[in-house]
Amino acid sequence: MTKVEIESRLRQFVEPHYGVDLMTAKAIKSIDIDGLNVHLVVELGYAAKSYLETLKSDLIAHLKSVEGIGDIVVDISVKIVAHAVQQNVKLIPNVKNIIAVASGKGGVGKSTTAVNLALALAQDGAKVGILDADIYGPSVPMMLGLSGKPESFDNKTMQPKVAFGVQTMSIGYLVAEDQALIWRGPMVTTALQQLLKETQWEALDYLVIDLPPGTGDIQLTLAQNVPVSGAIIVTTPQDIALLDAQRGFGMFEKVNVPVLGLVENMSLHICSQCGHEEAIFGSGGGAAMSEINKIDCLGQLPLDIHIRQYADSGEPIVVAQPDSRIAQIYLDIARKMSARLALKPKDFSGKFPNIVVQK
């Protein structure tokens, strides 16, 4: 038994969230061999607290087939780092990574998906925030059971409001629920920049931004000026939604923001009475779009009454029913999303010293 044999065997183990083997993902930090015994050190780059023991067991079972191997010890840890963003876009203090959740059109469940994914990341050990960028129709406060104006300790910046361990900010905290915001594009863009930059985010691994639906001037301006590490697109299987989702993908391509994957929402309707499943919006659309654009379909979510009920109650399903099938789908999508981001280039801007030229 040699180190080369161990490495060869590890290359045959495809980690389900990275989508590649751990050697390719550069997650294997050391392989120590002492006689017949092996000590493996693994470092994941994504939130995975509740998955570590499963991965450890799977790795040990996989390595046991190596001829002559003895005891196997696997140590796994998680280290989330900052990843590269668009060029010439200033980073946000205390925020390692910004993930934009977008859709080409409204009504596809983008905000519900964004909130549940943020909660799933937090459950898996990450420090997470969510920014409600839908200025005209803020829904994050209601979904998280929050209201009232945020605190300010210096009359210049705002403290994020916290629910279920997730830091949040929304225009919905600053205006009355029944007040219509009749603003032009530049005003909306300015408001969003203020919400993002004047909030005192606290040591976030991920800030999830729930973007407004569409791909107009507002969305394009935001994508150009907000330092985004990666984006996901939410769609339904029907052709009209996929057509608009394709436009969303094109927008991120234009501003050099990597699309981490696609989430197909409402892929199946589950009857609350008999449990019968039916693809009322069609089927296969998300997979086809993923294949055409060479991106991953991170997961498929059903059209289920419980997702809506829990979101309306202020306690989303990931929190209300963490062991349910649907919550586990959100958790799996969140892991895949953050794992795909972990494979992207890192941000090294903080590694270089400032150079000052003096006479």
pLDDT score recorded for residue 340:
96
Whether the pLDDT of residue 54 is over 80: the answer is: yes
Q: Per this entry, what is the length of the chain?
A: 359
Candidate from 19-33, 168-182, 257-271 with smallest mean pLDDT? 168-182
pLDDT tens per residue across span 224-259: 888 999 999 998 876 666 666 777 788 888 888 899
Identify the band that residue 289 occupies on the pLDDT scale cut at 50, 70 and 90. Answer: confident
Cα angle vertex 321, ends 318, 326, to 5°?
A: 65
pLDDT tens per residue across span 317-327: 999 999 999 99
The residue type found at 94 is: N
Candidate from 32-36, 165-169, 279-283 with smallest mean pLDDT? 279-283
pLDDT tens per residue across span 108-162: 888 999 999 999 999 999 999 999 988 777 889 999 999 999 999 998 999 999 9
pLDDT mean across residues, the chain: 87
**Distance between CA 284 and CA 336 in Å, rounded?**
20
Q: CA-based Rg of the chain, rounded to a whole angstrom?
A: 22
**CB under 8 Å to 266, separation ≥6 — which residues?**
108, 109, 236, 237, 281, 301, 302, 303
291 vs 338: which has the higher pLDDT: 338
Q: Measure CA of the first residue to CA of the last residue in the chain; give whole Å.
A: 62
**Distance between CA 169 and CA 167 in Å, rounded?**
7
- 336: closest CA among 10, 17, 3? 17
Identify the band that residue 295 occupies on the pLDDT scale cut at 50, 70 and 90. Answer: confident
Domains in the chain: ranges and CATH = 3-78 (3.30.300.130), 95-342 (3.40.50.300)
Tokens matching residue 261: 């994957």
Whether the pLDDT of residue 350 is over 60: the answer is: no
Share of the chain above pLDDT 70, in %: 88
User: Is the C-alpha dihedral spanning 79, 86, 120, 53 positive or negative?
Assistant: negative
Candidate from 11-15, 107-111, 348-352 with smallest mean pLDDT? 348-352
pLDDT score recorded for residue 51:
95
Whether the pLDDT of residue 349 is over 80: the answer is: no
User: Is the C-alpha dihedral spanning 29, 230, 205, 111 positive or negative?
Assistant: negative
pLDDT score recorded for residue 185:
67
For tokens 């994504």, the residue is 46
Whether the pLDDT of residue 183 is over 70: the answer is: no
In three-state secondary structure terms, 230 is strand
pLDDT tens per residue across span 185-237: 678 788 888 899 999 999 999 999 998 877 666 777 777 888 999 999 998 87
pLDDT score recorded for residue 298:
94
Looking at the DSSP bridge assignments, the partners of residue 73 are: 39
39 vs 102: which has the higher pLDDT: 39
Q: What is the mean pLDDT of residues 3-12?
A: 92
Considering the entire predicted model, what is its pTM? 0.90
Number of Cβ within 10 Å of residue 15's Cβ equals: 22
pLDDT score recorded for residue 277:
73
pLDDT score recorded for residue 22:
96
pLDDT tens per residue across span 55-104: 999 999 999 988 888 899 999 999 999 999 988 888 999 999 999 998 86
pLDDT score recorded for residue 160:
96
Backbone dihedral angles phi then psi of residue 59, each to the nearest 5 degrees: -65, -45
Number of Cβ within 10 Å of residue 34's Cβ equals: 10
- 121: closest CA among 345, 332, 321? 332
CB 15 within 8 A of CB 21: yes
Whether the pLDDT of residue 355 is over 60: the answer is: no
Identify the band that residue 292 occupies on the pLDDT scale cut at 50, 70 and 90. Answer: confident
